[in-house]
Chain A
Amino acid sequence: MACVVKEKERAGIINPIFTCQPAGAQYVSIGIKDCIGLVHGGQGCCMFVRLIFSQHFKESFELASSSLHEDAAVFGGLNRVEQGVDVLLMRYPNLKVIPVISTCSTEIIGDDIDGVITNLNDGLLKEKYPGREVHLVPIHTPSFVGSMVSGYDIAVESFVRAFAKKDKPNGKINLITGWVNPGDVRELKHILKEMDIDATVLFEIEKFDAPLMPKEQAQPHGETTIDDLTGTANAIGTIALNKYEGGKAAEYLEDTFDVPAVIGPSPIGIRNTDLFLKKLSQMTGKPIPKSLAYERGVALDALTDLTHMFFADKKVAIFGNPDLVISLAEFCIDLEMKPVLLLLGDDNRSYKNDPRITQLQEKVDFDMDIILNADLFELEDRIKKGLKLDLIMGHSKGRFVAMDNKIPMLRVGFPVFDRAGYYRHPRVGYNGAVWLAEEMANVMFNDMEYKRNKEWLLAMW
């Protein structure tokens, strides 16, 4: 009865859980208003990431490529960045922020994107665009380091580093959400409103879920402004919900501007949400209102209907972004389930020392494996070798493991392309806890019906 943390033993990756760093940087870029990221690399590094965003959100987001071709691989591609910036500025008159996002190819050929940005600032921007507000932000995200998770973390820090500027205290808190969905941002803003807290939400992506309107074009876009980013230095404090997706930026603000940082936990599940509210309250001095206590009560009422009747002792495997996976595991344990396998898809050495993981190692009273640098074949292979599961939680790329082995699966994380509208619903907060638990139940109920596995439990009360 123990929780074991270990690396995947097989060489290489069969069916990766994550994509690479530039994708994370691109996800951050689209959260900023009047911003188009320029991905410095081959066209695929940008085009396919745009496709995955569009598969997930059923929307198209603006991202550009420096379109690295053969000659650039030989002679360097910085001229492609210069031209790309110019073309973007000429054709997008409202554009203010252009992050230059590096990739494996341009890091290997040694293109100095910081240098080219200095040159552009001193040259092109002064000469051709005097008086226009333009910010070029270097983001180093070589694909052979980390994963989309660390790419996200690096990009948030790069933006904060580029804009944060000390001024008068603004009385706000910084809320760094991590890699979440529009539904999560809506829920977080709801909580902030209930607590009467003024916050800078990084990143404000509620409008990723864009409408279809009769006259105006409502293309989806992020709404975090330059002022928002600049003001992060003047906040009361920073709460980064996810340690690995925004934690770096929170630390930077603390180290550089003495803005106190609270990092984690992701408010997934009741306990983590309670803790989040407590941190909010501590940071702002605002009390936790009755309205949220009521919502919590509604959530607990819903969970009680499910836990000991349906969830107890059900075995769960979870894969995806580390903060999400760990918080989901904690929530599952509260729901009387047994998360027997957690798969974290990159080789980040610090996972091992994560206090949440150490706590699992110290306290769980059933067998649990946490696999680092994992892939989805690890999950499949273990099932083939006898691992019994009642539920899988993770993103859509793992759908075949569930389908082929006839295990119910709840889509959580990124990307989810095979379920309608999942980005619209929260995973965080009390409402997120309800959504998660009820959807877990519903996929298991469907499975009971298809397999005729005591399906009458559902029908006759």
Chain B
Amino acid sequence: MKDDMEEKVDQLVNYIMKNCLWQFNSRAWDRENQNEGILKRTMQVLCDEPVEKDTPAGKYYWAEAVYLARLYKSEFKWINDMSKEEIKVLIKKLKEKIDYLTISGSLNEELKNPLY
């Protein structure tokens, strides 16, 4: 049996895998940047923390994060009842799972190709 937190992480993972494309850049280093850049900001948005968006990349990650956070709050109402600390744990676990699915556990043999 999965515990409650795992269930919740699964729901968030599933949403990303069904609806988003940013987690599937073609190379491992880009996937790391995308997952980190977007999910960190998603956490910051959900926790009402200041978000770095001054660089073009930061601004892009922020746009994805704002939108993801909004959808999470409307699709998964339980997230609105969570404390900031709980949200941080939740997103940390979410990122671990997404990193596993798209990077460390990925069977995609092109991820390590040094060129685009």
A–B contact at 8 Å CB threshold (below): no
